[in-house]
Amino acid sequence: MPPPDRIELRGLHLVGICGALPEERDRAQPLEIDLDAEVALRRAGESDDLAHTVDYGALCDVVAAIVRGGRPQLLEHLAAGIAEAVLAADQRITSVSVAVRKLRPPVPHALATSGVRITRTA
């Protein structure tokens, strides 16, 4: 069986509250999100019709609404909320992987990013 088709969104930059430290609770920080949505794309590939695929912009809107609408302490919780919302947004999505990274993690080390990646299925 061939691997599943997938829509890949990379490097969505948003600003949101996420963290347990006091400075993370008071000030929004830059986040970067990657999303892989498994969805059958054969029909879209054959028809060249947007109605036969999942709208990338709509997926970005779903992710942005979750980031802007919440104040989680954990990246894990934020990623799970995004995954749940993406699966609910379009019934054709059978699985989603979400990576969320803090671009300025509050640690006393030269760390470029910190993040999590989760996968959820419908």
* Helix 75-89 × helix 56-69 angle, to 10°: 140
Task: Please choose, from the candidates 79, 122, 72, 83, the residue with its C-alpha nearest in 3D space to the C-alpha of residue 100.
Answer: 79
Q: Which of 18, 59, 62, 102 is catalytic?
A: 102
Residue 102 designated active-site: yes
What is the signed CA dihedral for 43, 48, 54, 56, rounded to 10 degrees? 150
Number of C-beta neighbours around residue 115 at 10 A: 16
Number of C-beta neighbours around residue 1 at 10 A: 3
> What is the three-class DSSP state of 73?
coil
**CA pair distance 87, 82, nearest whole angstrom:** 9
Catalytic residues: 102
